[in-house]
Amino acid sequence: MAFPSRWIHPRDAKDPWDTFEVAEALHATDFVWTYSLDGQAVGGMKQFGGKVFLAINSLVPDEPGGSERLQGRILDLDGNRVTAPWMRNWKGRYWGCANSPQYRSSYEAYAKRAVDAGTDGLQMDDPPMNVAALRWGGCLCPHCMAEFREQCSRIRLRLPRTQKSTTRPRKGYCRRMFLGTTHATPRCNPTNQKEEAARGKHALWH
Protein backbone atom coordinates (compact mmCIF):
# COMPACT_ATOMS: atom_id res chain seq x y z
CA MET A 1 0.00 0.00 0.00
CA ALA A 2 1.23 3.51 -0.87
CA PHE A 3 0.83 6.01 1.96
CA PRO A 4 0.82 9.77 1.14
CA SER A 5 1.81 11.32 4.45
CA ARG A 6 2.46 14.73 2.82
CA TRP A 7 4.54 15.79 5.84
CA ILE A 8 6.31 13.86 8.57
CA HIS A 9 4.33 13.94 11.83
CA PRO A 10 4.44 14.94 14.59
CA ARG A 11 5.42 18.37 13.31
CA ASP A 12 5.51 19.91 16.77
CA ALA A 13 4.69 19.09 20.39
CA LYS A 14 0.98 19.79 19.86
CA ASP A 15 0.65 17.53 16.81
CA PRO A 16 -1.36 14.41 17.81
CA TRP A 17 -0.40 12.41 14.72
CA ASP A 18 2.58 10.16 14.10
CA THR A 19 3.37 9.30 10.48
CA PHE A 20 4.95 5.95 11.25
CA GLU A 21 2.25 4.81 13.65
CA VAL A 22 -0.44 5.55 11.06
CA ALA A 23 1.59 3.85 8.31
CA GLU A 24 1.94 0.74 10.45
CA ALA A 25 -1.79 0.68 11.23
CA LEU A 26 -2.55 0.90 7.49
CA HIS A 27 0.03 -1.77 6.61
CA ALA A 28 1.78 0.69 4.33
CA THR A 29 4.79 -0.38 2.32
CA ASP A 30 5.50 2.63 0.08
CA PHE A 31 5.56 6.33 0.87
CA VAL A 32 4.53 8.88 -1.77
CA TRP A 33 3.77 12.63 -1.92
CA THR A 34 5.84 13.34 1.18
CA TYR A 35 7.59 16.67 1.66
CA SER A 36 10.84 16.06 3.47
CA LEU A 37 14.57 16.46 2.98
CA ASP A 38 15.40 14.57 6.15
CA GLY A 39 17.55 11.52 5.53
CA GLN A 40 16.64 10.03 8.90
CA ALA A 41 12.92 10.28 8.08
CA VAL A 42 13.51 8.66 4.68
CA GLY A 43 15.40 5.86 6.40
CA GLY A 44 12.43 5.33 8.70
CA MET A 45 10.07 5.11 5.73
CA LYS A 46 12.29 2.56 4.01
CA GLN A 47 12.02 0.32 7.05
CA PHE A 48 8.53 -0.54 5.81
CA GLY A 49 10.08 -2.43 2.91
CA GLY A 50 8.85 -0.38 -0.05
CA LYS A 51 9.84 2.66 -2.08
CA VAL A 52 9.95 6.29 -1.04
CA PHE A 53 8.94 9.07 -3.42
CA LEU A 54 9.53 12.49 -1.92
CA ALA A 55 7.52 15.38 -3.31
CA ILE A 56 8.72 18.41 -5.24
CA ASN A 57 6.47 21.12 -6.65
CA SER A 58 6.04 24.31 -8.66
CA LEU A 59 7.08 26.61 -5.82
CA VAL A 60 10.22 25.23 -4.24
CA PRO A 61 11.95 27.80 -1.99
CA ASP A 62 14.92 29.80 -3.19
CA GLU A 63 17.15 27.63 -0.99
CA PRO A 64 16.40 24.02 0.03
CA GLY A 65 14.93 24.04 3.51
CA GLY A 66 14.27 27.80 3.34
CA SER A 67 10.99 29.68 3.28
CA GLU A 68 11.58 32.55 0.84
CA ARG A 69 10.11 32.20 -2.63
CA LEU A 70 11.18 35.33 -4.48
CA GLN A 71 13.74 34.39 -7.15
CA GLY A 72 12.74 33.37 -10.66
CA ARG A 73 9.01 33.54 -10.03
CA ILE A 74 6.10 33.75 -12.49
CA LEU A 75 5.17 37.40 -13.09
CA ASP A 76 2.00 39.11 -14.31
CA LEU A 77 1.77 42.09 -16.68
CA ASP A 78 2.59 44.54 -13.88
CA GLY A 79 5.57 42.54 -12.66
CA ASN A 80 3.81 41.09 -9.62
CA ARG A 81 4.66 37.57 -8.53
CA VAL A 82 1.88 35.08 -9.22
CA THR A 83 0.47 32.27 -7.13
CA ALA A 84 -2.33 29.75 -7.51
CA PRO A 85 -5.83 31.02 -6.57
CA TRP A 86 -6.12 28.48 -3.74
CA MET A 87 -2.79 29.65 -2.30
CA ARG A 88 -3.45 33.40 -2.20
CA ASN A 89 -3.98 33.37 1.55
CA TRP A 90 -0.70 31.53 2.07
CA LYS A 91 2.06 34.07 2.62
CA GLY A 92 4.74 34.18 -0.06
CA ARG A 93 3.66 31.09 -1.99
CA TYR A 94 4.83 32.35 -5.37
CA TRP A 95 5.14 29.84 -8.20
CA GLY A 96 8.45 29.43 -10.01
CA CYS A 97 8.88 30.08 -13.72
CA ALA A 98 10.06 27.06 -15.69
CA ASN A 99 11.96 29.36 -18.08
CA SER A 100 13.88 31.17 -15.34
CA PRO A 101 17.51 30.09 -14.79
CA GLN A 102 17.17 31.22 -11.17
CA TYR A 103 14.20 29.00 -10.51
CA ARG A 104 15.76 26.08 -12.35
CA SER A 105 18.78 26.40 -10.08
CA SER A 106 16.54 26.36 -6.98
CA TYR A 107 14.61 23.38 -8.35
CA GLU A 108 17.76 21.40 -9.08
CA ALA A 109 19.20 22.18 -5.64
CA TYR A 110 16.01 20.98 -3.94
CA ALA A 111 15.91 17.81 -6.06
CA LYS A 112 19.56 17.07 -5.26
CA ARG A 113 18.87 17.40 -1.53
CA ALA A 114 15.96 14.96 -1.86
CA VAL A 115 18.15 12.46 -3.71
CA ASP A 116 20.90 12.86 -1.12
CA ALA A 117 18.30 12.15 1.59
CA GLY A 118 17.75 8.74 -0.03
CA THR A 119 14.53 9.07 -2.03
CA ASP A 120 13.90 6.45 -4.71
CA GLY A 121 12.21 9.00 -6.94
CA LEU A 122 10.51 12.37 -7.02
CA GLN A 123 6.79 13.02 -7.30
CA MET A 124 6.00 16.31 -9.04
CA ASP A 125 3.14 18.16 -7.38
CA ASP A 126 1.29 20.69 -9.61
CA PRO A 127 3.27 19.75 -12.74
CA PRO A 128 1.61 22.20 -15.20
CA MET A 129 3.65 25.12 -13.76
CA ASN A 130 3.60 27.95 -16.34
CA VAL A 131 0.79 26.34 -18.32
CA ALA A 132 -1.49 26.57 -15.28
CA ALA A 133 -0.41 30.15 -14.68
CA LEU A 134 -1.77 31.22 -18.08
CA ARG A 135 -5.18 31.34 -16.40
CA TRP A 136 -3.85 33.55 -13.60
CA GLY A 137 -2.16 36.23 -15.71
CA GLY A 138 1.34 34.83 -16.16
CA CYS A 139 4.02 34.40 -17.09
CA LEU A 140 5.34 37.67 -18.50
CA CYS A 141 8.80 37.62 -16.96
CA PRO A 142 11.81 38.66 -19.11
CA HIS A 143 12.73 35.03 -19.80
CA CYS A 144 9.25 34.11 -21.04
CA MET A 145 9.00 37.25 -23.14
CA ALA A 146 12.37 36.56 -24.74
CA GLU A 147 11.23 33.02 -25.57
CA PHE A 148 7.95 34.38 -26.90
CA ARG A 149 9.77 36.74 -29.27
CA GLU A 150 11.98 33.87 -30.43
CA GLN A 151 8.93 31.69 -31.07
CA CYS A 152 7.29 34.49 -33.07
CA SER A 153 10.42 34.82 -35.17
CA ARG A 154 10.44 31.09 -35.94
CA ILE A 155 6.73 31.15 -36.79
CA ARG A 156 7.24 34.01 -39.26
CA LEU A 157 9.96 32.02 -40.99
CA ARG A 158 7.65 29.01 -41.34
CA LEU A 159 4.52 30.95 -42.26
CA PRO A 160 4.85 31.02 -46.10
CA ARG A 161 5.38 27.25 -46.20
CA THR A 162 2.50 26.68 -43.78
CA GLN A 163 0.15 28.92 -45.76
CA LYS A 164 0.96 27.10 -48.99
CA SER A 165 0.31 23.69 -47.45
CA THR A 166 -3.05 24.76 -46.03
CA THR A 167 -4.42 26.78 -48.98
CA ARG A 168 -6.33 23.92 -50.61
CA PRO A 169 -8.21 22.65 -47.49
CA ARG A 170 -9.01 26.23 -46.47
CA LYS A 171 -10.46 26.99 -49.91
CA GLY A 172 -12.71 23.96 -49.62
CA TYR A 173 -13.83 25.07 -46.19
CA CYS A 174 -14.66 28.55 -47.48
CA ARG A 175 -16.72 27.16 -50.34
CA ARG A 176 -18.78 24.95 -48.04
CA MET A 177 -19.26 27.52 -45.30
CA PHE A 178 -19.96 30.66 -47.33
CA LEU A 179 -21.40 29.39 -50.62
CA GLY A 180 -22.73 25.93 -49.79
CA THR A 181 -20.93 24.42 -52.77
CA THR A 182 -17.54 23.03 -53.72
CA HIS A 183 -17.66 24.41 -57.28
CA ALA A 184 -17.32 28.16 -56.67
CA THR A 185 -13.87 29.58 -56.16
CA PRO A 186 -13.80 32.32 -53.49
CA ARG A 187 -10.34 33.54 -52.65
CA CYS A 188 -9.20 32.57 -49.18
CA ASN A 189 -6.08 34.27 -47.86
CA PRO A 190 -5.23 35.82 -51.26
CA THR A 191 -1.60 36.26 -52.19
CA ASN A 192 -2.15 38.80 -54.99
CA GLN A 193 -3.94 41.86 -53.60
CA LYS A 194 -3.66 43.78 -56.91
CA GLU A 195 -5.43 40.97 -58.71
CA GLU A 196 -8.23 41.03 -56.16
CA ALA A 197 -8.62 44.80 -56.45
CA ALA A 198 -8.77 44.57 -60.25
CA ARG A 199 -11.54 42.00 -60.04
CA GLY A 200 -13.45 44.13 -57.55
CA LYS A 201 -13.78 41.23 -55.17
CA HIS A 202 -13.25 40.99 -51.45
CA ALA A 203 -11.47 38.05 -49.89
CA LEU A 204 -13.62 35.95 -47.63
CA TRP A 205 -10.68 35.12 -45.41
CA HIS A 206 -7.77 37.28 -44.34
Give the global pTM: 0.74
SS3 label, residue 188: strand
Q: Tell me the percentage of the chain whose pLDDT exceeds 70.
A: 76
H helix runs in the chain, sequence order: 19-25, 39-46, 101-116, 130-133, 142-174, 193-199
Q: Which of 66-75, 126-135, 189-198 has the lowest mean pLDDT?
A: 189-198
**How far apart (Å, rounded) are the C-alpha atoms in residues 152 and 51?**
45
pLDDT score of 206: 35
Residue 131, Cα to own-chain centre: how many angstroms?
4
**How far apart (Å, rounded) are the C-alpha atoms in residues 9 and 131?**
33
pLDDT score of 153: 82
pLDDT score of 162: 54
pLDDT tens digit string along 36-64?
999 999 999 999 999 999 999 999 999 99
Closest residue by Cα to residue 122 from 110, 132, 131: 110
Q: Which of 90-99, 167-176, 189-198 has the lowest mean pLDDT?
A: 189-198
